[in-house]
Structure 1
Amino acid sequence: MSSRPLQNSDYSPNSTHTAVDVVLDTAYQNINASEWAELFATASQSKVKEFIADMFAGKHVNQSEDRPALHSALRNLSKSPVLVDGQDVMPAVSEVWQRIDALCNKWVGVTDVIHIGIGGSDFGPRLAIEALAHVPGIESRGMRMHFLANIDTAELARILARAQPNSTRVIIVSKSFTTLETTMNAKAVVAWLQNSGCTKGQIARSLFAVTANIPAAKDFGIEEENIYPFWDWVGGRYSVWSAVGLPIALQYGFKTFQDFLAGAHAMDLHFKNAPLEENLPVIMALTLLYQQEKNKVKAYAVIPYADALDWFPKWLQQLDMESNGKSVDRDGKPVKHSSPIVFGSAGSNAQHSYFQLLHQGTEIIPIDFIAVREPMSDRPEAVAHHRILLSNCLAQAQALANGKDDANPNNVYPGKRPSNLLLLPELNAFYLGTLLALYENRAATLGALWNINSFDQPGVEYGKVLAKPIEQALASNQADIAASDNIDAVTAARINFLNAKN
């Protein structure tokens, strides 16, 4: 029996990089110095630096929708001018900050907040609320925060069974204010308030909206002073930094929300200004590109060794696969690479789930290990437990990289399984913001490397179009639906089977 440790010649000696006190260690990527030089040359040839400058300058990098992608302006706490088509957007962004701060000071006696949104209107705030709940000593202001996304009424029923109607506030979040799941759930919650005896005035005071379509929110019945705008230059999956993140401020205070923005802003400044060779989002993007070229990887895992970040892989799935899950590039030509499948969950739980495949499966699946220096509780056992948690993180990365020989083939570990290690000093609002912005900027970098538009998502629309005639056919309760232009024979048969049961 013997192990196969990596040799110094196997990877660049400059494998550790730091930005905003976040450490990135790429030693187990097995990329040597000359290969790193080629990767940075590829980044230069792909004009990554120019793309970064264009994005922060407000140029229309979202070409298909002819828009900027300026979510960075939402966390620009310096308030330095950010121009969209010649107009500084920072006064409007600052006004929303002031309104959020004021609202935090107004809400007294609120027991429940129901945040209604789906996709980018849900993942970011839900992740932040869950993650920050683990910060020792954080003040939660005594409110229960409920997230309602799924059109399945099971989620609705569970929330309404707990909420107290007379002291509930409702935040309806939709960029277009036409998202089917969101508007139907909003109508159901309003009906619940009505049926619970709330007056028309009470309901009006309870409803809030976050949207880019202010007229539609007004038509729904939301008072103008309760509508918080964001803009068409903000993609939904990049919108937690806007008023979409209102639950963070309401639950933990406006200062915590500011800290969240500040961490992201600090990472933006690093991404914007650091040379490619020292730029964390760029380096992370290049490691994935390298593994695609060398090992033809089709998936990668992100494993945060912090229970507080269990929602992080779900947020990242949307960020990466909705941004870069494309088959054609900006010029309409077939792509060589696009987003791999993203999956993951909190370690060390993940070790008892799919790590068997990661170690001994036939596919090479790169991993981002995320660890936090400080324990996430002030329990007396915290230090000892955290030491074991970190040791598991480091051990798994080592085992995956080095592998192990054995006379019994069943006990052989092939090794050479690549991974990054990201180490956060602690997990609070600031470093949560830093982490999310790091991955947002990495996604944008990958888009530049692959020549993909990371800011549109046309692929999600077709199914929505087809759902309308199918829903009408289901509503008819007829079991003799025929195939048509919008309903093929297989789906027609399925509709007929469902309707025959009614």
Structure 2
Amino acid sequence: MKYINPIQTRSWKILKNHFHIMKNVNLKDLFLSDNNRFKKFSIFFENEMLVDFSKNFITQNTLKYLLNLAKEMDIKKAIQLMFSGKKINETENRPVLHVALRNRRNSPIFVDNTNVMLEINHVLKKMKDFSEQVITGEWKGYTGKSISDVVNIGIGGSDLGPYMVTEALRPYKNHLKIHYVSNIDGTHLFEVLKKINPETTIFLIASKTFTTDETITNANSVKIWFLKNIKKKSALDKHFFALSANIQNALDFGINIENIFQFWDWVGGRFSLWSSAGLSIILSIGFSNFEKFLNGAYAMDNHFYNAEYEKNIPIILALISIWYTNFFNTQTEAIFSYDQYMHRFAAYFQQVNMESNGKSVDKNGKKISYQTGPIIWGEPGTNGQHAFFQLIHQGTKLIPSDFIAPVISHTHLKEHHIKLISNFLAQTKALAFGNSEISFLQDSYFFKENKKDLNKTDKKSLFKQCVGNQPTNSILIRKITPYNLGFLIALYEHKIFVQGHLLNIFSFDQWGVELGKNLAKNIYKNFSTIENSKCFDSSTKGLINFYKFFYK
């Protein structure tokens, strides 16, 4: 497949010219000029989700030009290559097959002449059997007691994804207490160890390579703590499990071969929650709910693979994002989940998006002259409204935002939920159209050369001015169920894939992350001699010396 610089395409040049028409557009005018705007710019998915992208700086022409870009860059061919197991992660010579993990039709997918579905189904069966033993109390700890707590030790995709899902699906959780340890800061582990009993706790060590420093450091500390309390090494077999692609490293750590749940190098860490890295999810909500979760993702996979460009939700949302980052020069995108259970959703996709598309070299090895991945951030509503929405409403930044909310709440506090959704709707309306002061202010002295006659009433109104014209996508979901959360996560995954392809970058490596890891290891190894080393800059040496002074 050809690797094309997007800005050299005919479609990009047309978009550039079209931008000069659209750059001063006002959302209020777009709605006033078209009573059917909502219908034209919204898509229903399976009667479970409504995606409304009408509050964006787009017309039907804009959408046509953006879709032409996707066609010219042949995104459909790229999708087919990913789904078929081709090695599209070229810098690591690997396929990108998280879609295989939720291939519910079980159709064969081959990697190096091996049908990976056979291995996937074997591991799924193993996870099902084990989780049922633990949940029912059949699996006993070393002293014969049933398991009460599960500690997942991982970082990045081995932590953020499973943690986000277990929180989002908390209404479906069982009696097991699930804990997550990620930070190498000992405080994180220390606080978890205070809450658990080694006799009734199992530890899931989630690391693709089983070499990730933070994870292995935490795992070693837990192992020492556990043996200090239990005093018999054979007890590890009842309490320690590995979720990894590196079987040998897990064995060397002391994990019993039967306690290793494999995943594969073609599963990117940030896309691994569908694999054995999601065992903590299964232990939290049960295997039948996990299957529904996979089914939801599979439904979105089918939509992404089969839907026409004009109705393909991930493609459209990806194109709108590129429209803002590369033509309106926006730097950030916000995600606001109006559901407290989904309080880690933005944090998870902060990683998935920024670790995937934070690149400055294209697939041809050339320095990029356009914008790639945006900065992703966000918090749950309504908390965000009382924190940083002020800047979006009246600041100087253009910040496209996604608003996500369930129509039906899991709680019985109906009045709370109606108020929550009222805030959701109010914010997207206010961001788009501003307040009623605008028409008055346009006629006020503020917009005229002579400002001396501006009276106090007019001045006070100026400070209340919210001009609106901030773009948003609204995503309403019937209810946050395992199935619906599955397709929502898959939607964002595919959006990121489309962005990466259209921007001509490799989305599935993360060499920048590896640099920091390697430097940290080097500093740690030379910590005692770093003061006299010529390998380190004066700032690093100075900071080390300050640390040593207080840590004697």
**Aligned partners of 1:63 and 1:148: how far apart in 2?**
32
CA displacement at 1:65 relative to structure 2? 1.0
* 2:534 aligned partner: 484
**Aligned partners of 2:72 and 2:539: how far apart in 1?**
48
* 1:499 aligned partner: 548
When normalised by structure 1's length, the TM-score is 0.95
Mapping for residues 466-477 of structure 1, pairs under 5 Å: 466-474=519-527, 476=528
- Structure 1 residue 428 corresponds to structure 2 residue 481: yes
Deviations 1:164-203 (A, max 9, x none): 1111111101000000111111111111111112422222
Q: Which amino acid aligns with 1:375?
A: S
**Aligned partners of 2:361 and 2:73: how far apart in 1?**
16
- Structure 1 residue 113 corresponds to structure 2 residue 162: no
CA displacement at 1:4 relative to structure 2? 4.8
| Match 2:493 to one of 424, 440, 446 | 440
SS at match of 1:370: strand
Mapping for residues 316-395 of structure 1, pairs under 5 Å: 316-335=349-368, 336-377=370-411, 379=412, 382-395=413-426
Paired residues in the alignment total 489
CA contact (8 A) 2:332 2:376 kept: yes
Deviations 1:101-131 (A, max 9, x none): 1102222210111110000110111011111
Deviations 1:305-351 (A, max 9, x none): 10011100110011000000011111122331211111001001110
Q: Which amino acid aligns with 1:349?
A: N
**Aligned partners of 2:262 and 2:393: how far apart in 1?**
47
Q: Which amino acid aligns with 2:388?
A: Y
CA contact (8 A) 1:301 1:368 kept: yes
Mapping for residues 297-312 of structure 1, pairs under 5 Å: 297-312=330-345
Mapping for residues 199-348 of structure 1, pairs under 5 Å: 199-335=232-368, 336-348=370-382
SS at match of 2:167: helix
Change (3 A) 1:472 1:185: same
SS at match of 1:239: helix
SS at match of 1:114: strand
| Match 1:131 to one of 165, 168, 192 | 168
Q: Which amino acid aligns with 2:338?
A: Y
- Structure 1 residue 144 corresponds to structure 2 residue 177: yes
**Aligned partners of 1:403 and 1:240: how far apart in 2?**
40
**Aligned partners of 1:30 and 1:12: how far apart in 2?**
13
**Aligned partners of 2:80 and 2:543: how far apart in 1?**
51
Structure 2 unaligned segments of length 5 or more: list them.
1-26, 138-145, 442-457
**Aligned partners of 1:241 and 1:217: how far apart in 2?**
20
CA contact (8 A) 2:237 2:259 kept: no
SS at match of 1:424: strand
CA contact (8 A) 1:6 1:401 kept: no
SS at match of 1:29: coil
Deviates more, 1:279-288 or 1:198-207: 198-207
Mapping for residues 147-158 of structure 1, pairs under 5 Å: 147-158=180-191
Kindly report the root-mean-square deviation, in angstroms, between the aligned alpha carbons of the 2 structures: 1.5
Q: Percent identity?
A: 40
When normalised by structure 2's length, the TM-score is 0.86
| Match 1:25 to one of 45, 52, 56 | 52
CA contact (8 A) 2:38 2:52 kept: no
Q: Which amino acid aligns with 2:243?
A: V
CA contact (8 A) 2:315 2:495 kept: yes
**Aligned partners of 1:332 and 1:454: how far apart in 2?**
14
SS at match of 1:256: helix
**Aligned partners of 1:320 and 1:309: how far apart in 2?**
17
**Aligned partners of 1:183 and 1:347: how far apart in 2?**
36
**Aligned partners of 1:9 and 1:172: how far apart in 2?**
57
SS at match of 2:265: coil
SS at match of 2:349: helix
Instruction: Please identify the structure whose Cα radius of gyration is greater.
Output: 2
**Aligned partners of 2:30 and 2:311: how far apart in 1?**
23
**Aligned partners of 1:209 and 1:8: how far apart in 2?**
58
Deviations 1:256-298 (A, max 9, x none): 1111111111100100110111011001101111122332100
CA contact (8 A) 2:152 2:180 kept: yes
CA displacement at 1:8 relative to structure 2? 4.5
Q: Which amino acid aligns with 2:517?
A: K
**Aligned partners of 1:4 and 1:467: how far apart in 2?**
51
* 1:97 aligned partner: 124
Q: Which amino acid aligns with 2:266?
A: W
SS at match of 1:373: strand
Q: Which amino acid aligns with 1:462?
A: L
CA contact (8 A) 1:115 1:171 kept: yes
